[in-house]
Structure 1
Amino acid sequence: MEPLIHGMLLAFGLILPLGVQNVFIFNQGATHKKFTNALPAIITAGVCDTVLIYLAVTGVSIIVFSFEWLTLLLYLIGFFFLTYMGWVIWKDKSEVSTNQEENLFSARRQITFAVSVSLLNPHAILDTIGVIGTSSLTYTGYDKWVFTLACIVVSWIWFISLGVLGIKVGQINGNRNFLIRINQISAIIIWIMAIYMGYKLYSLLF
């Protein structure tokens, strides 16, 4: 019971703060009328988190991030991609329509962006390694797998809930101006994250 509760509380504490991944999932929910249309982003984010948690618990990720150049590369790629992603979402305000779902992010585009905000976010990856990976060292055998599964389940429940919340908010305020504002706010938050990532990169270099 202890590893189960520990894993659930830890995963919830890590995933709750506002981040690029959460913003993107909520945005896809709010700008689509149907839950199934936002599923590509939700499922992709869940799978990426599952992989990261597994790597953190098994210790593989610690070995990878022992190379400083790899951390720098991730910050660099993350900075440029988040800048680009913010621009794309901001520009898409002209395509928002309450009548034409085809103008919104396609499944392929959702998957591409969800993978990027999940795996090109050094801050989130290092948090997963540092917190979940380190905490998992407390357990062995069966307890360790219970802890790991608890973290993974919370991650999936959170992304599904965030998508549903976005859908509900979009349905309640399903007018074009509101959806444009959702995109603009999402883009601004993503740009702030990009600036933060650029600052971290600068700090590591100088």
Structure 2
Amino acid sequence: MLIPVVQGFMVGASLIMPIGVQNAYVLSRGIRRQHHLLVASLCLFCDLVLILVGVFGGGRWLGSMPWLQAGLTWGGVAFLLVYGGRSLGAAWRGEVRSLQAESGPEKRLAIIVTTLAVTLLNPHVYLDTVMILGSVAAQLAHQEQSGFALGAVLASTVWFYGLALLAARLSPWLARPAVQRGVDVLIGLLMWSVAGSLAWSALR
């Protein structure tokens, strides 16, 4: 039982650790201490669902619906262009956000919606969690697949909460105006580059 758990952890960690759109968003919420644990929890929940779908056969189902993949791709491109533009605009204007979390149901709802959009409108999430993890799990014996899924979920748990908590811990330094502007530029360019690569792949 332990071996497939370790395998799942290692594969899950290798897929989730490269800095991507979702990780950049978790990092930005942690720096500003804006419901960063809520964001990490939502990302983890989405990963949990998608990992289970992938490990237990959902990859074949997703691969059989090219129209769904196309819809996710173009929806993701549109979202990433808009959100990336907002980050670059904030950097251009030199906006500096407070370290104090903005509370209230409207702000919380906006963060929930944005977190779900960053996660579920990014086709790379489905490629990593459903397709790749699913293909690796398919090579294991049926009784080992649950352990593999557990290991992958543990990797996501450690990563998302670790990233959010570390960013919040370092926020007094990371939230300096010059650093904030750099983070905004990095996030904006990252989102636009991912949008460009998605659009190029879809058009090809």
Q: TM-score range by the shorter chain?
A: 0.7 to 0.9
1:56 equivalenced with 2:54 (yes/no): yes
With normalisation by structure 2, the TM-score equals: 0.87
Aligned pair in 2 of structure 1 residues 92, 100: CA closer, same or farther (>3 Å)? farther
Shift of residue 177 of structure 1? 3.2
In structure 2, what is the Cα distance between the partners aligned to 1:99 and 1:14?
30
In structure 2, what is the Cα distance between the partners aligned to 1:131 and 1:10?
9
Look up the SS of the partner of 1:131 in the other structure: helix
Shift of residue 69 of structure 1? 1.5
Q: Give, as a single letter, the amino acid of the residue that structure 2 aligns with 1:52.
A: L
Is the CA contact (8 Å cut-off) linking 2:5 and 2:148 kept in structure 1? yes
Shift of residue 99 of structure 1? 5.8
1:43 to 41, 44, 55: 41
Match for residue 85 of structure 1? 83
Match for residue 161 of structure 1? 162
Structure 2 unpaired stretches of 5+: none
Shift of residue 70 of structure 1? 1.5
Aligned pair in 2 of structure 1 residues 139, 29: CA closer, same or farther (>3 Å)? same
Match for residue 102 of structure 1? 102
In structure 1, what is the Cα distance between the partners aligned to 2:62 and 2:38?
28
In structure 2, what is the Cα distance between the partners aligned to 1:71 and 1:25?
25
In structure 2, what is the Cα distance between the partners aligned to 1:74 and 1:99?
34
Q: Give, as a single letter, the amino acid of the residue that structure 2 aligns with 1:98.
A: S
- CA deviation vs aligned residue, 1:52-82 (integer Å, no higher than 9, x gap): 1011011134213311121111111110011
Shift of residue 188 of structure 1? 1.4
* Count of matched residue positions in the alignment of Structure 1 and Structure 2: 199
Cα RMSD, aligned residues only: 2.2
Aligned pair in 2 of structure 1 residues 179, 55: CA closer, same or farther (>3 Å)? same
Look up the SS of the partner of 1:138 in the other structure: coil
Shift of residue 173 of structure 1? 3.8
- CA deviation vs aligned residue, 1:73-93 (integer Å, no higher than 9, x gap): 111111001111112333445
Q: What is the identity percentage for the equivalent residue pairs of Structure 1 and Structure 2?
A: 25
With normalisation by structure 1, the TM-score equals: 0.87
